[in-house]
């Protein structure tokens, strides 16, 4: 029977396996991918843009969490498009695959940054949301997992992939990675914040 130590050893291996690729699919060292995501974030905000987060289920929770933390802790303009009334209205009227695309099209602007989160990397609403972000000339960062050939992994300027098939491990790694991007962008060091 496995216990908590085994669980965290397994999680540690998952985190150590995060892969980063650029928009052409070339593999990057993880630090380079994180640095590029930080550059995209700063470039968007410095240019008057905002951060937009989309995700389903647990990934919607991550999107909300990150929009709040990027706004509150990072003092960066950020929002998540997962209001319940909006999702049910748009899903009913336009089809569930359009719930993010419609909102990104309405609110996205040239210079914004869209962060698309999907454990499987195959959710039609997330893929269409990225397509809408591109049509609005937003930069895109993707976070996916499960199969290495998932379509989301090919759509971002920077793509982070978690090589695991368990929702919990993929989701917690996505959350930790996004927190790392925010924390490093705002001055975290191993010796302590802003040291």
pLDDT tens column, 11-42? 999 999 999 999 999 999 999 999 999 999 99
Confidence of residue 190 (pLDDT cuts 50, 70, 90): confident
- CA-to-CA distance for 137 and 155, rounded, in angstroms? 13
- CA-to-CA distance for 78 and 94, rounded, in angstroms? 25
Return the structure tokens found at 179.
Answer: 């927190």
Q: Kindly list the domain boundaries of the chain, sorted by start residue.
A: 20-185
Confidence of residue 169 (pLDDT cuts 50, 70, 90): very high
- CA-to-CA distance for 139 and 134, rounded, in angstroms? 7
User: For 105-160, how does the pLDDT look when each residue is reduced to its tens digit (9 = 90+)?
Assistant: 999 999 999 999 999 999 999 999 999 999 999 999 999 999 999 999 999 999 99
List CB contacts of 188: < 8 A, sequence separation 6 or more.
194
Confidence of residue 193 (pLDDT cuts 50, 70, 90): low
- CA-to-CA distance for 15 and 134, rounded, in angstroms? 29
Mean pLDDT, the chain, as a whole number?
95
- Tell me which fold the domain 20-185 belongs to: Rossmann fold (3.40.50)
- CA-to-CA distance for 143 and 124, rounded, in angstroms? 15
């Amino acid at each position: 029977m496995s216990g908590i130590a085994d669980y965290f050893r397994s999680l540690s291996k998952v985190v150590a396996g995060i892969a980063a690729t650029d928009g052409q699919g070339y593999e990057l060292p993880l630090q380079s991918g994180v640095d590029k995501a930080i550059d995209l974030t700063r470039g968007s905000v410095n240019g008057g843009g905002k951060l937009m987060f989309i995700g389903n289920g647990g990934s919607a929770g991550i999107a909300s969490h990150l929009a709040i933390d990027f706004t509150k802790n990072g003092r960066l303009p950020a929002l998540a498009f997962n209001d319940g009334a909006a999702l049910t209205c748009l899903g009913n009227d336009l089809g569930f695959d359009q719930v993010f695309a419609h909102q990104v099209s309405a609110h996205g602007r040239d210079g914004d940054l869209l962060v698309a989160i999907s454990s499987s990397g195959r959710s039609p609403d997330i893929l269409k949301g990225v397509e809408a972000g591109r049509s609005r000339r937003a930069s895109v960062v993707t976070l996916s997992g499960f199969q290495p050939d998932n379509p989301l992994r090919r759509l971002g300027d920077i793509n982070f992939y978690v090589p695991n098939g368990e929702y919990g491990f993929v989701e917690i790694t996505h959350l930790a990675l996004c927190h790392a991007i925010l924390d490093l962008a705002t001055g975290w060091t191993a010796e302590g914040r802003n040291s």
